[in-house]
Structure 1
Amino acid sequence: MPMYKKAMFILLIIVAAAAGGTYYGLYQEGQSVVLESAGTSDGNLPAKEITVYVTGAVNKPGLVKVPEGARAADAVNACGGLLPTADSEKVNMAQALKDGQQLKVPEKNPAANGSQTERSNKSKSADIGEKVNINTADEKALDTLPGIGPAMAKRIIEYRETEGAFQSIEDIKKIRGIGDAKFAKLKDKICI
């Protein structure tokens, strides 16, 4: 029986040490002091930054770091603002940005702004072999693509406004109703 007594003694010491450690930990937790944050005056942690690639009609195109939750306007401002030739109506400046996103600011068409001939040429572009830019095309131009009707064109524009620009032409498959078969018909007629 001496072996049994040794085992019980060791077990009793382990239980006492665990209980003592728990009591000590709880006691120390009650004595802890909350320190003021050194980063900001209001005690919040500094905001995480995301990186966005801004191209097109901005003063200094390139990679910019903006706070998480920033909008397209913040990224454009970080690039020095828009050029006078920028077509700001084609960019949703209120769009929330994601890390790694590309934001392209198109230039205004040097031809007559919004003339009827320009609109009709844009609508015919898919028919004569020109590729349609799925990031900047209007509803009429998207409607000229094979298998894309007015409803699908609206979905594409809605996706661009909520999710941002397409990063590759394959991203158009994220639109409800565009699968592999429809994409196969589109891929030679679209670009980004």
Structure 2
Amino acid sequence: MKDNFLKYKKIGLMSILAIVVIVSVIFYNAKGFKQLNKNNTESIFVDDDNLVFENGKEDKLPSQDSVNMSKQMESKLEDKTIVVEIKGQVKKPDVYIIDENSIINDLIDLAGGVTENADLSNINRAKKLQNHEMIYIADKNDINNDYTQATNMENGSMDNEILVDINTATTDKLKTLNGIGDSKAKSIIEYREQNGGFKSIEEIKNVTGIGDKMFEKIKESITV
């Protein structure tokens, strides 16, 4: 009878040990699952302060203010450029986007410089460029090199006109304009020398002796 008691006692102890082992295994697995789930959650979690957690580390995302500031800077850069065209005796005649404060000499450099036949005698290379302006570098062998060649596009057709550049034309060239004699031609030259050139053809009305009526007569024949 004593042997039976020892036998049952041994079985009981083994049962208790087995239960302890099973409970330990279940608890360990449950703890490991929670830790794994926590790590996975942290790796994809984004909080309200624009922080991304990945493998316990945090990386900052660009804030909305930074994005807006970047867009504003890009917009300002776009606003500070102009579109101009250069033709004639330059190595790379083309349409260029250039800084709004650029001068004709900057555009010539951008176009690869002038050719051997370029005539710069009537070009004011220090003149500030205007948006959508066209610069023509004449050929020194061209008999019309005192004029600026302009292309006028109207109704889908192209008409070539020879316009007198009031910023570079000599007295004789200015006198070819309708109603312009020696006195007015000299006044035009004096005005442009004193004011750094004409910014637009309308500015010629500021010259003494040239009013609205005179401007209407010559406006189709002049350029800057």
Q: Normalized against structure 2, the TM-score is what?
A: 0.44
Task: State the distance in 1 between where 2:123 and 2:196 align.
Answer: 8
**Residue number in structure 2 paired with 1:89:** 121
Aligned equivalents of 2:129, 2:222: Cα separation in 1? 22
Q: Quick one: percent identity of the two aligned structures? A: 30
| Aligned pair partner of 1:163 in 189, 198, 206 | 198
Query: Pairwise mapping of residues 16-165 of structure 1 onto structure 2 (< 5 A)?
Result: 48-110=80-142, 133-135=163-165, 137-157=169-189, 158=192, 162-163=197-198
Aligned to 1:42: none
Amino acid of the structure 2 residue aligned with 1:67: D
2:175–2:185 CA contact under 8 A, matched in 1: yes
* Change in CA separation of 1:155 and 1:133 when aligned onto 2, cut-off 3 Å: farther
Change (3 A) 1:162 1:172: closer
Bigger proportion of residues as strand = 2
* Offset, 1:90: 0.8
* Structure 1 residues without counterparts, runs of 5 or longer: 1-34, 40-44, 114-130
Deviation digits for residues 126-180 of structure 1 (CA, Å, limit 9, x no counterpart): xxxxx973116421121243421234224545289623575xxxx5864534345
Q: Secondary structure at the match of 1:140?
A: helix
Residue identity opposite 2:121 in structure 1: E
Count the aligned residue pairs: 129
Give, in whole Å, the separation in 2 of the partners of 1:172 and 1:164. Answer: 7
Cα distance change on mapping 1:60 and 1:146 into 2, 3 Å = same
TM-score, length-scaled by structure 1: 0.51
Q: Offset of 1:96 from its aligned partner? A: 1.1
> Contact 2:205–2:215 (CA<8 Å) still a contact in 1?
no
Partners of 2:175 and 2:164 lie apart in 1 by: 11
Q: CA RMSD in A?
A: 3.9
Secondary structure of the residue aligned to 1:76 is helix
3-state secondary structure, aligned to 1:66: strand
Q: Whose radius of gyration is greater, 1 or 2?
A: 2
Distance 1:184 1:144 in 2: 15
Deviation beyond 6 Å, 4+ runs, structure 1: none
Structure-2 change in CA distance of 1:179 and 1:132 (3 Å): farther
Separation of aligned partners in 2, 1:165 and 1:83: 28
